[in-house]
């Protein structure tokens, strides 16, 4: 393998580790059991929404701004995640969706 390809894979791996570390840091600020999250109930910044947003960015490359607000864009990403994982599609992050996210993050 040529040195450029090796360098590329090293950079990709380092970025992956950085994102994984960031997700773990966000996870520490969101208590277990995870709360049910829905757009109507989260009007201010919430550490669990930040963890959710970063998780969705990592798992489905949703491109969310990690700001802790459960806005329409976050709700749309939740719906996308639920559809991709054959979950009940309602845009609400309840026990079933949290379980799927946690399982997939644990890899």
Predicted model pTM: 0.75
Helix (H) or strand (E) holding 74: helix 72-84
pLDDT at residue 68 tops 90:
yes
Q: What is the arithmetic mean of pLDDT over 48-72?
A: 96
pLDDT in tens, 74-103: 999 999 999 999 999 999 999 999 999 999
| Helix, strand, or coil (residue 64) | coil
* 37 backbone dihedrals φ, ψ, rounded to 5°: -120, 135
User: Which pLDDT band, with edges at 50, 70 and 90, does 22 fall under?
Assistant: very low
């Amino acid at each position: 393998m040529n040195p450029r390809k090796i360098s590329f894979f090293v950079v990709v791996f380092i970025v992956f580790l950085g994102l994984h570390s960031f997700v773990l840091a966000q996870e520490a600020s969101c208590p277990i059991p995870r709360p049910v999250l829905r757009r109507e109930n989260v009007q201010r910044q919430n550490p669990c929404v930040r963890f959710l947003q970063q998780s969705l960015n990592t798992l489905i490359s949703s491109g969310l701004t990690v700001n802790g607000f459960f806005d329409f864009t976050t709700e749309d990403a939740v719906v996308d995640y639920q559809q991709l994982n054959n979950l009940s599609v309602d845009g609400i992050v309840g026990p079933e969706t949290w379980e799927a996210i946690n399982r997939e993050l644990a890899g």
